[in-house]
Amino acid sequence: MILPRLHAEALVRPRRAAIDPQIARAAAEIVSAVRAGGEEALRRCAERYDGLAQADRLIYDRADLEKALAGAPQEAQQRLERIAGRIRRFATAQLDSLQALTIPVAGGVAGHELAPVQGAGCYAPGGRYPLPSSALMTAVPARVAGVETVWLASPRPAPVVLWAATVAGVDGVLAAGGAHAVAALAFGAGGVPAADVVVGPGNLWVTAAKQLLAGEVAVDLPAGPSELLVIGDASSDPLLVAADLLAQAEHDELARPWLLSTEVSLIEAVEAALGRQLADLPTAATARAALAGGGAVLCRDDDELVQLANAVAPEHLQLCTAEPDRLASRLRHYGALFIGDRAAEVFGDYGTGPNHVLPTGGAARHTGGLSVLSFLRLRTWMRGADGPADDELIDDTAWLARQEGLEGHARAALRRRLR
């Protein structure tokens, strides 16, 4: 059996486990080494962990990137520009939907404004295959948000990653990965400036380093092994469902593809389609391992489908049903929702517009995906009104301060009445 049959209880996992203590300790040592040793320590780590040769370039500045893009095939440039344009358009629409605020308050007016962070560090994994999509998905929203300085870290960056980084508008690329790259983005090292926020998907070392540095810099969501939960019914095309599950499964052996349905016939048809499509899939070995870690659940009815999907809170949730909107209105927890079989999850991965850096491991219950909002700060302000002081505001402030034993607070409020 390619896609194991599971009981509903087996799909509802405990919340994300903590990082393995050994990885956490080792990542902490790497972060401390880069903090203390700067570029020299960073290069040592890159040579040890990333396979960077002594003669290899560690940092690509903007001039290097422009030169790399100039040498790219015209077709590659055009496609990357087109994909970046879709991501940029969606991020711009997000930004335009946000508003500054001004309202009358006791004693004057108050409000908020949205301001970008000054520097962002973005991460694009460099495992079995280059991931130019992550360069675009992280750096383009940062630029749309108005971030002044944007750098990308990626171990052993392939030419296409450098091209994508250039199109996305980064200032430079650090040819390093793992905990040492996250530390370099956070603290600065060599020509890499310190960032205010570090974002992007990565392995357990990247996640561990982010957790260590949270508070010193802002970090984004936990983006671990990828997940796709497909809900299907009698109307679903098993060939499409199988193709979507395989697309998710080929990411990584730890990826989690799941299928929920009230129709046993669909589950059986998808199983058969998986077998045929795996036959000539170049990434079949990885996909088979991931499928074996996923599974299919036969549900009693739509209520159980919805309850189970909400309990899992998957990274990607795809509705391949006859009436997807009817289910969509009842679903509460997911990183990204794909409504109808024409809204393929792979379109979300590769540049329809919404971001593909999404919460995994149930984190969608409390956080959303990367977006232009990830690079913005909400800053509040207050302006006092001219004329007589607001006695009620002064008295309430003084009273509450004294309830907390803070007489200095009370007196600071009361002095406003004397002016």
Same domain, 75 and 97: yes
Distances (CA, A) of 295 to 98, 245, 249, 317: 40, 10, 11, 15
Q: How far apart are CA 123 and CA 120, in angstroms?
A: 10
Q: What are phi and psi of 193, to 5 degrees?
A: -80, 155
pTM of the shown model? 0.93
Tell whether 282 and 406 lie within a shared domain.
no
d(CA 107, CA 77): 56
Per-residue pLDDT of the chain (419 residues; tens, 9 = 90+): 999 999 988 888 655 566 789 999 999 999 999 999 999 999 999 999 999 999 899 999 999 999 999 999 999 999 999 999 999 999 999 999 999 999 999 999 999 999 999 999 999 998 778 899 999 999 999 999 999 999 999 999 999 999 999 999 999 999 999 999 999 999 999 899 999 999 999 888 999 999 999 989 999 987 778 999 999 999 999 999 999 999 999 998 999 999 999 999 999 999 999 999 999 999 999 999 999 999 999 999 999 999 999 999 999 999 999 999 999 999 999 999 999 999 999 999 987 999 999 999 899 999 999 999 999 999 999 999 888 889 999 999 999 999 999 999 999 999 998 66
Total domains in the chain come to 3
Greatest Cα pair distance in the chain: 84
Q: Which of 203, 219, 235 is the last residue of a domain?
A: 219
> Residue written as tokens 């599950």?
245
| Residue 193 resides in a domain | yes
Q: What is the CATH number of the domain that holds 238?
A: 3.40.50.1980
Residue 187 is assigned to a structural domain of this protein:
yes
211 and 289, same domain (yes or no): no
- The CA distances from residue 363 to 205, 312, 329, 377, in Å, are 18, 10, 20, 22
Same structural domain, 195 and 239: no
* 299 and 184 assigned to the same domain: no
Which residues touch 323 (CB under 8 Å, ≥6 apart)? none
Q: Catalytic site residue 315? A: yes
State the pairing for strand pair 172-174/59-61: antiparallel
187 and 202 fall within a common domain: yes
Report if residue 335 sits inside a domain.
Answer: yes
pLDDT at 16 (0 to 100): 58
* In-domain check, residue 231: yes
- Same domain assignment for residues 395 and 263: no
Closest to 222 in 3D by CA, of 122, 363, 365: 363
> 48: which residues sit within 8 A by CB, 6+ positions away?
none
Looking at the fold, whether 136 and 75 belong to one and the same domain comes out as: yes
CA distance 175 to 190: 12
Q: Do 176 and 79 reside in the same domain of the chain?
A: yes
Domain coverage including residue 118: 21-219
Q: What is the pLDDT of residue 419?
A: 64
Please pick, among 227, 250, 271, 316, the residue that the annotation labels catalytic: 316
Q: Does 368 reside within a domain? A: no
Of 271, 315, 345, 356, which is the active-site residue? 315
| 64 neighbors 70 (Cβ within 8 angstroms) | no
> What is the pLDDT, as a whole number, of residue 321?
96
- 407 is annotated as an active-site residue: no
Cα–Cα distance measured from residue 373 to residue 378, given in angstroms and rounded to the nearest whole number: 10
Domain boundary, last residue among 219, 248, 267? 219
Domain final residue, candidates 167, 202, 219: 219
Which amino acid, 275?
A: G
Do residue 286 and residue 395 come from a single domain? Answer: no
Q: Is residue 10 part of a domain?
A: no
Same structural domain for residues 129 and 215? yes
Same domain, 161 and 269: no
Asked if residue 370 is part of any domain, the answer here is no
From residue 83, how far is each of 18, 171, 354 by CA, in Å? 35, 19, 11
Q: Please, is 36 exposed, middle or buried when counting C-beta atoms within 10 Å of its C-beta (0-12, 13-18, 19+)?
A: exposed
Q: Is residue 382 part of a domain?
A: no
